[in-house]
Amino acid sequence: AQKVTQAQTEISVVEKEDVTLDCVYETRDTTYYLFWYKQPPSGELVFLIRRNSFDEQNEISGRYSWNFQKSTSSFNFTITASQVVDSAVYFCALSLPGGYQKVTFGTGTKLQVIP
């Protein structure tokens, strides 16, 4: 079974600060996908990033970057120069390839960016 842990329940930062959201996952499968989703108060999930288990290259996409380390089973997500619009709940998630592609979500981290 898969498990995703987000130890940070709530984080508050002042606008323009950088913030890192932590995620640790568990799976016995060697092939898997990791995701970060944003859920604003409206409730609709917004896809942010995806990484497959064979690609540990860390990248930057605009103000977003991630640090994927298989050795520690971590997939941390960083927002640079945070903005008030970044305030939301962020979910880390994991899925397996193949026909049964259910997504296992972490417990979520509520981010509040204070102006």
Residues near other proteins, by CB under 8 A = 33, 37, 42-45, 47, 50, 52, 91, 95, 97-108
Closest to other proteins by CB, 4 or 79: 4
Q: Which amino acid is at 41?
A: P
Q: Distance between CA atoms of 102 and 28, rounded to whole angstroms?
A: 15
Closest to other proteins by CB, 3 or 16: 3
CA atoms within 13 A of residue 103's CA, in its CB half-sphere = 14
Task: Using the structure block, give the residue that is written with the tokens 């960016």.
Answer: 113
Minimal distance, residue 71 CB to other proteins, in Å:
22
